[in-house]
Amino acid sequence: MDKLDSMRLFTRIVERRSFTGAAHDLGVPRSTVTTIIKQMEERLGVRLLQRTTRTVRPTLDGEAWYRRCLAILEDLEDAEGAFSGAEPKGMLRVEVQGTIARHFLMPALPEFFARYPGIELSMSERDRWIDPVQEGVDCVLRYGELPDSDLIARRVAVLDRVTCAAPAYLERYGVPQTIEDLAAHRIVGIRLVSTGNLTPVEFHVGGELRRIDMTAPFSVTGPESYLLGVRLGLGLAQVPRFHIERDLASGALVELLNHMPAPSAQVALLYPRSRQLSPRVRVFLDWAAGEFEKRNRRMNGASV
């Protein structure tokens, strides 16, 4: 393994906080990783990594070396691409909110791969918040309110949300007409994995945002189970419109209180602030943003 490949290996270890994770990502034996890092430390005359039974962290010298390696590798990749005119290539790791990705991005993936045949896309779905650098992820697609972080967030869509319920629920509890009527109703709750708290029920009323406390006998953390609970008549819900268009059209769900709409929610692509974007990440971000724009126009009835 030459010096550049050794640098790639070292940066991956720092980002993954794991020898095993880096070995898996780069397709090399775990024993090879240990040997290469030992040789690198001997050549530089410093200790680069602090190892414990659970994690691997860079020392102060290791952190400085990581920054230098990252800058060298990114400059090399950009330079090669600029002079060769080569298309972006390599593995791209993306963490997504599954429902959003399946609706907005996956239908256009054949076009993406036809345009960038050298890119391999690994897409993972988790409902919890992750640190993309530590998890070895290039960018993250997230829906809703974002926690404070050092990540750069690129907003790609603002999605309308609908208050709705199943006909069976409305037959039992009645159709709410005002915000006061909601005192006699219940919701299907969706809990934030990061905090365990229920997502608040909110409405725009008379130019003000009103938050309503409602009983939630049934609550979940996953969007698919959440929507199934609503379809089964377990309570009211506030759901992105794109997710229930067919239910509204078929009458499986009924839109409610459209004179006091729920606040919309943003969709954002997030990536680390600490590094320059590689060409493959840059083209993916631009492509994804374009797909959200196209599909939002279609949902709003405009031509693309």
Spell out the domain ranges in the chain.
3-84, 90-151+268-299, 161-263
CATH number of 3-84: 1.10.10.10
Distance CA 120, CA 212 (A): 45
0.75 surpassed by pTM? no
- Residue 301, pLDDT score: 59
Domains 3-84 and 90-151+268-299 fall in the same CATH topology: no
- Tens-place pLDDT, residues 284-303: 999 999 999 887 777 665 43
pLDDT tens digits along 6-54: 998 999 898 888 898 889 888 899 999 999 999 999 999 999 999 887 7
The yes-or-no verdict on residue 304 having pLDDT over 60 is no
For the chain, the distance separating the N- and C-terminal CA atoms, rounded to the nearest angstrom, is 49
pLDDT attached to residue 75: 73
Pick the CATH number of 161-263 from 3.40.190.290, 3.40.50.12780, 3.40.190.10, 3.10.510.20: 3.40.190.10
Mean pLDDT of 267-279: 77
pLDDT for 276 equals: 60
Q: How far is CA 94 from CA 90, 271, 292, in A?
A: 13, 10, 16
pLDDT, tens digit (0-9, with 9 covering 90-100), for 217-249: 999 988 889 999 999 999 999 999 989 999 999
Write out pLDDT tens, residues 114-143.
999 989 898 888 766 666 766 667 888 988
Burial 235-251 (b: 16+ CB within 10 A, else e): bbbbbbbbbbeebeeee
Cα–Cα distance between 28 and 20 in angstroms, integer? 10
Does domain 90-151+268-299 sit in CATH 3.40.190.10?
yes
195 versus 32: the higher-pLDDT residue is: 32
pLDDT tens, position by position, 60-100: 999 889 888 877 887 777 676 656 566 788 778 898 888 88
Distance, in Å, from the CA atom of 156 to the CA atom of 158, rounded to the nearest integer, reads 7
pLDDT band at 147 (very low <50, low <70, confident <90, very high): low
Here the tokens at position 219 are 């609550």
pLDDT over 70 at 185, yes or no? yes
